[in-house]
A and B are shown apart, each in its own frame.
Chain A
């Protein structure tokens, strides 16, 4: 009893610190949001003369972030630009040096984030579909009926034995040549199909291993109690294998998150593809820094989620 009583106390104190930090950030954020100068103040500062000089080549970008505004007038042809940031009630001009580089990253952020959205959603949907499929594949592979187990083994062998990129190309480029019924025009859907199918093979092996690691006595006692095979799996074996599944599935999830960058090769604008476009259009290498930071943040977030899940399912261990 004592060990169980101590744990929540420690968790509570840590939770309290976290709450205070979050509250402080929210308060500071709210204050910053209230005192940020309006966008019009920033745009006014851009010299008329520059706008006139650029003429048709003039482009103006305005980003309204929660706690600050940023605006830039730019001569697209000469790359001459004038950038203003409005923060803490002040308007600051940032045209050269480090602040300007930092400001560049802020202009890239919306594109990078929309790339990240594609990366995350593709990872999640293909992972969900893959895990769903893999349960059947895993149960099929350990089945005693050869007509079921052989095809499942063959599926796993094929999808683990060929490159993921090849499978992606096959779905997107080769299938449409074979039949109109198999044509997937939407890049996202094509990538989803390829990743889900590939994922299922890897997750099936994880699930199979987890099921087979459950003590044989659990099957025996289920038999003695009169449970059917399906009931044994559903009520006894699969719930127990959940916790053992979480670490390898989390690992797989993070692998997929990074494998999704392969879709840049079919020109789907995920985070990697967006980064590469910005890199070539702005001829700046700095874009890789925020891009990789975004990857790290996503990975950190999901690692945290999976760790919580693991703890949740460990109550009886």
Chain B
């Protein structure tokens, strides 16, 4: 059963077509990596999954339920409001720029949404969030403000914050692109252990090593289209599309 599925998703900014009929399906427990040159529409696609961008046309299914259907910039159908909010929370998102709340400590950053959105009690939330901080290896940084954490630590807090809402799918939008090279490893290892624990993940990334080793499915996007997709072994060792080959040659 597909957890997240899109049908003919298109996105236009004015006359610029960023996404052209994207079909994608993510199964429970699957790790999908989206790779491709910049400007290919990878981030826009990911962002339109949890409604940070509004698609021009296409259908998005969550849990095999039609979440959103739009044609020509008009919403044809959308799940009712309560369900919409619930389904949105099934997707946790991690951003390239971390976007931690600078006025909250690491622990408060993670606790904010469970307390205010899930109406969890403060004690329960604290227990949950300390556990998550421990999981990303930052238990001793609970009371630090983001400014005093390294980029890698900030991104790990951001991952814990997204996990605190207990999502079914984690969306990663270039999670390591803003990091110094020596800090990339710690974030990738957290993501790797998350994948091993069975989390469904969609990762937009330039980390080819991660895509090759962790992903079950790799999508190569180019000019708003899925140029090629398949298991990493196929994409990385025997790409069929010349654009894929050209891209992989330039990054590897």
Residues in chain A within 8 A of chain B (CB atoms) = 215, 217-218, 220-221, 223-227, 231, 235-236, 239-240, 315-317
- Besides A221-B95, A225-B161, A227-B117, 15 more A-B contacts (Cβ < 8 Å) are A218-B99, A220-B95, A221-B93, A221-B158, A223-B50, A224-B93, A225-B113, A225-B117, A226-B113, A235-B116, A239-B103, A240-B103, A316-B146, A316-B147, A317-B147
> CB < 8 Å: which of A217, A223, A225, A317 contacts B112?
A225
Question: Which B81-129 residues sit within 8 Å CB-CB of chain A?
Answer: 85, 88-89, 91-93, 95, 97, 99, 101-104, 112-113, 116-117
Chain B residue at minimal CB-CB distance from A1:
B148
Contact B117 A217 (CB under 8 A): no
Closest to B104 in A: A316
- B100: min CB distance to chain A, Å: 8
Residue of A nearest to B100 (CB): A221
A217 to B93, CA, bound (A): 12
Residues of A with C-beta under 8 A to B101: 218, 221, 236, 240
Residue pair A316, B145 in contact (C-beta under 8 Å):
yes
Distance, CA A47 to CA B92, complexed state (A): 90
User: What are 15 A-B contacts defined by CB distance under 8 Å?
Assistant: A215-B99, A217-B99, A218-B99, A220-B52, A220-B99, A221-B158, A224-B162, A225-B161, A226-B85, A226-B89, A227-B112, A236-B112, A316-B103, A316-B104, A317-B147
- Contact with A317, one of B52, B97, B102, B158 (Cβ below 8 angstroms): B102
- In angstroms, how far is the closest chain B Cβ from the Cβ of A156? 27
Decide: A224 and B117 in contact? CB cutoff 8 A: no
Distance of A231 Cα from B51 Cα, bound (Å): 18
CB contact list, B37-95 vs A, under 8 A: 50-52, 85, 88-89, 91-93, 95
Binding site for A on B (CB under 8 A): 50-52, 85, 88-89, 91-93, 95, 97, 99, 101-104, 112-113, 116-117, 145-147, 158, 161-162, 165
Which residue of B85, B95, B99 has the most chain A CB atoms within 10 A of its CB atom? Answer: B99
CB–CB B91/A235 < 8 A: no
Please give me the 9 A-B residue pairs with the lowest Cβ-Cβ distance, nearest first: A217-B99, A225-B113, A224-B93, A221-B99, A316-B145, A226-B117, A226-B89, A239-B103, A217-B97
Interface centre among A227, A235, A315, A317 (most CB of B within 10 A): A235
Known: A217-B99, A231-B116. A224 touches B146 (CB 8 A): no
Q: Identify the closest chain A residue to B88 (Cβ).
A: A226
Q: Which residues of B contact A239 (CB under 8 A)?
A: 103
In the assembled complex, the Cα of A72 lies from the Cα of B104 at a distance in Å of: 62
Q: Which residues of B contact A224 (CB under 8 A)?
A: 50, 52, 88, 91-93, 162
Interchain CA distance A217-B89 in the complex, whole Å: 18
Contact B50 A315 (CB under 8 A): no
Q: Is A217 a contact partner of B165 (Cβ separation < 8 A)?
A: no
**What are the residues of chain A within 8 A of B97 when measuring CB–CB?**
215, 217
Q: How far is the CA of A227 from the CA of B104 in the complex (A)?
A: 16
In the bound assembly, the distance between CA atoms of A221 and B96 in angstroms comes to 11
Q: Are A225 and B52 in contact (CB under 8 A)?
A: no
- Report chain B residues within 8 Å CB of A226: 85, 88-89, 113, 117, 165
Q: Tell me which of A223, A224, A231, A236 has the highest count of chain B C-beta atoms within 10 A of its own C-beta.
A: A224
The CA-CA distance from A315 to B147 in the complex, in Å, is: 10
Task: Please indicate the chain B residues that have their CB under 8 angstroms from the CB of A227 in the complex.
Answer: 112-113, 116-117
Chain A residues with CB below 8 A from B95, complex form: 217, 220-221
Within the complex, what minimum Cβ distance (angstroms) separates B125 from chain A? Answer: 13
CB distance from A245 to the nearest CB of B (A): 13
B177 to chain A, nearest CB (A): 14
Chain B residues whose C-beta falls within 8 Å of the C-beta of A315 in the assembled complex = 145
Nearest chain B CB to A224 CB, angstrom units: 4
Residues of B within 8 A of A236 (CB): 101, 112
